[in-house]
Amino acid sequence: MKRWQFWLGVIISAVLLYFALRGLRLAEFWEAVKTARYLWLLPGVAVYFIGVWVRAWRWHYMLRPLKKIRVPVMFPIVAIGYMGNNIYPARAGEVLRAAVLKQREGVPISASLATVIVERIFDGVVMLAFVFLNLPELARLTHGAGVIGDLSIRDITIWGSVIFLGALLIFLLAAMFPQITERAVNWGCDRLLPARFREKVRGVALRFLTGLESLRSPSDALMIFFTTVIIWLLETGKYWFVMHAFPFEVSFFALMLMNGIVNLATTIPSAPGYVGTFDAPGIALLVAYGVPNSVAAAYTLVLHAALWFPITLLGAYYYIRQPLRWGSKEIQALRTETQQTT
């Protein structure tokens, strides 16, 4: 609460919500919320949890070079990570799930964080693919073009592609040429760091590199990519099911575009739970497709809640059953490794 990053995120969320909801007719919005057919949320949540299970399988697949862990063991840890991302700022849930994995399975935090970062890079690449696939349709839109145009989605997508694909290339090269990468790490530690930091940074960096071993095989990298596509198609399926609760209809490809844009936008600092960064671009995009502003706002906010509450409650349940015990000597060591890594 005392860190400036937290308050910066709160301010960004507040500004985005203001622009997203200004001019909203509250009576029409409330009518859309009241008359929604909420039974459609049930298959949406079910499809979403299938996607979370596939995420657990993907993480299990990436961790195989470090330790073979069954998917039923991974699923609760992934749910805990989602909970952390939803209630803490700066995606702290990623560190939380790495810490839980360290306590329960003994996998070094720096190594598991490497797999988490690789996951996020693949997620970003697929999200950008969703946007690129639908850019021609977006360019033909006329309704609400001012809001979308101001966002310069085409330019953001191009620069985002450069960043994510560049990061993926760096990780692939580091995984394919481990000896060269290790020599580069040792050279950087010995030449660029003060003596008192060298061994700590070297240890974290080398453990981090072990988390990239799943990228050494082209077939493994393709499997991770294929699994990531399945994950995000399943999440788009939730968008599609929730849409049927409201009086509008757009194509599945439009929802793929919405999914890509809102999830790329959630990389911007915000208040916990991606408040504003999820809602503002989602509402703007639906308005651009001709959906009335009140219906677009009702759908986006209900969708956001349906994405937030179930996985957060499930993650909290799993965490309460076996929380991190920060008083033990083992967890004190885990805390030290977490601080060194982050």
| Model confidence at 298: pLDDT above 70 | yes
Total Cβ atoms within 10 A of residue 193: 14
Per-residue pLDDT at 284: 87
Structure confidence at residue 32 as a pLDDT band (50, 70, 90): very high
Using alpha carbons, select from 233, 229, 227, 235 the residue that is nearest to residue 307: 235
Nearest to 235 by CA among 251, 258, 210: 258
- Asked if 91 contacts 263 with a C-beta cutoff of 8 angstroms, the reply is no
pLDDT digits (tens, 9 = 90+) for 223-256: 999 999 999 999 999 999 999 999 999 999 999 9
pLDDT (tens digit per residue) in 2-21 = 577 778 888 989 998 888 88
CA 257 to chain centre: 16
**Residues paired with 15 in a beta bridge:** none
The string of pLDDT tens digits covering residues 81-137 is: 999 999 988 788 999 999 999 999 999 888 899 899 999 999 988 988 888 888 777
Structural domain boundaries, residue 234: 4-341
CA distance 211 to 224: 14
**Which whole number is the average pLDDT over 198-218?**
82
- Bridge partner list, 201: none
Q: Please state, in angstroms and rounded to a whole number, the distance separating the CA atoms of residues 104 and 63.
A: 14
Q: What pLDDT sits at residue 123?
A: 93
- Total-model pTM: 0.86
Banded pLDDT at 28 (limits 50, 70, 90) = very high
Write the pLDDT tens digit of every residue in 207-216: 778 878 888 8
What does residue 244 show for φ and ψ, rounded to 5 degrees? -70, -10
CA distance 282 to 258: 6
Alpha helices in 88-194 (DSSP H): 92-105, 109-139, 145-151, 153-176, 178-192
Cα 151 from chain centroid (whole Å): 21
Pick the more confident residue, 52 or 202.
52
Please tell me the predicted confidence (pLDDT) of residue 105.
92
Q: What is the mean pLDDT of the chain?
A: 86
pLDDT over 90 percentage in the chain: 47
The encoded tokens of residue 119 equal 């996951």
Domain count, the chain: 1
Mean pLDDT for the stretch of residues 160-165: 76
Q: What is the pLDDT, as a whole number, of residue 268? A: 83
Judged against a pLDDT cut of 80, whether residue 328 lies above it is answered with no
Which pLDDT does position 266 carry in this prediction? 87
pLDDT at 148: 42
pLDDT reading at 275 higher than 60: yes
Residue 193's pLDDT is 86
List C-alpha distances in Å: 74 to 96, 220, 245: 13, 19, 32
pLDDT band at 150 (very low <50, low <70, confident <90, very high): very low
CB neighbourhood size of 251 (10 A): 12
Taking residues 170-182, what's their average pLDDT?
Answer: 86
Crossing angle for the helix pair 252-265 and 218-243, nearest 10 degrees?
A: 110
Amino acid type, 295: V
The SS3 of residue 231 is helix
Integer Cα distance of 231 and 236 in angstroms: 9
Determine the 3-state secondary structure of 290 from DSSP: coil
